[in-house]
Amino acid sequence: MNFLTKYKLILASKSPRRKELLENARIPFEIRLKEVEETYPPGMIIHDVPKHIARLKAEPFQSLKEDEVLLTADTMVVLGTEILGKPKDRDNAFEILKKLSGAEHTVITGVHLKSNTKDHTFDQHTEVVFYPLTDKEINYYIDEFEPFDKAGAYGIQDWIGLCKVNGLRGSYSNVMGLPMERLYHELRDFTARLDRSNN
């Protein structure tokens, strides 16, 4: 991980999944939080929304030090042409999971890297297929795992991912909230560009 020895990675996210993924990859970082309203213009192409919100989350960080790299991200579940966000309440979680039952959906994470001189945005798509979910299974899942802070009302790393995912094409960690395989290489390339511009 020598490409990060000269830089301090700042994670601007409250997500315990993103924290866990970076820790598991042994990527050193610190968390720094600033509030931002996660909005996007009406009529924006759905698949562009996660990148837009990731950039939006970086806007409050205007004074980064020369050795700091900011990481912001937004993960979204898309079923057809519908964005399935974090559930508002239990009924909404049930409704979302009912829609995902037996269906294929796309998980998109937009990622934004920012320094005091450069920025870079990319996204990653993963296709996920669920087995059919019975009402009893949905109720069990909501009661036991309370997925109210998760886009699409589920976590790939818990019961629903272990028992009810029929197939997955693409990055598993992307569904958790950060496409680690892609992020590793993007971080390496981003810091290399910073090195070249600083020399």
By annotation, the residues acting in catalysis are 74
The pair phi, psi for residue 18, each rounded to 5°, is -65, -40
Cβ atoms within 10 Å, residue 72:
26
In this structure, what are the phi and psi dihedrals at residue 49, rounded to the nearest 5 degrees?
-65, -45
